[in-house]
């Protein structure tokens, strides 16, 4: 079942422009609170790297209705995970926003992180246009260490330079 695997999170995330636009619009509508959603992905191996190809964004409701915390509504979460499993995809990313803070994991994000096989995608609306970054979290001792991974559009991963040579995508 999604969320229970031992698969590590991807080395890069590919989000087609239309899907990325849907993510940003959903998170913007949640302001001034944090927004939340999930990305269902197909994992593709490219040499030694694993690429997560976003197939569908699942918008969720933040049942905490808070500008500093998020928790995806249980019904939204279950429906999304079931659909991801039904389609043979994987949970590729947990997406949320920081209305004013930077697009990097906060101490609260790290303390509440539960899905090491998924990336954490954070959009910061403290700037215009919003800053969007993806993070792979790895357990180091008893705490999480975050590593920024690139977000590419669907053409960039096929024809662009090696992923290790690309930076995060800014929106």
Would you name the residues annotated as active-site residues?
Answer: 34
CA distances from 25 to 33, 75, 78, 135, 154 (A): 14, 21, 22, 20, 19
Q: Count of alpha carbons within 13 Å of 75, Cβ hemisphere only?
A: 2
Instruction: Answer yes or no: are the C-beta atoms of 153 and 13 closer than 8 Å.
Output: no
| Contact predicate 37/72, CB 8 Å | yes
Q: Choose among 1, 95, 13: nearest CA to 49.
A: 13
The full length of the chain comes to: 171
């Amino acid at each position: 079942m999604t969320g229970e695997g031992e698969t590590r999170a991807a080395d890069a995330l590919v989000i087609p422009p239309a899907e990325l636009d849907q993510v940003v619009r959903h998170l913007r509508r949640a302001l001034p609170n944090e927004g939340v959603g999930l990305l269902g992905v197909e994992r593709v191996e490219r040499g030694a790297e694993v690429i997560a190809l976003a197939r569908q964004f699942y918008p969720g409701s933040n049942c905490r209705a808070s500008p500093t915390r998020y928790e995806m509504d249980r019904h939204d979460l279950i429906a999304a995970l079931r659909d991801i499993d039904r389609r043979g995809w994987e949970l590729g990313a947990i997406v949320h926003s920081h209305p004013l803070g930077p697009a990097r994991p906060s101490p609260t994000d790290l303390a509440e992180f539960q899905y090491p096989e998924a990336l954490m995608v954070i959009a910061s609306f403290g700037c215009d246009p919003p800053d969007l970054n993806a993070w792979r979290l790895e357990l180091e001792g008893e705490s999480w260490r975050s590593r920024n991974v690139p977000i590419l559009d669907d053409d960039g991963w096929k024809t662009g330079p090696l992923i290790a040579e690309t930076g995060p995508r800014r929106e």
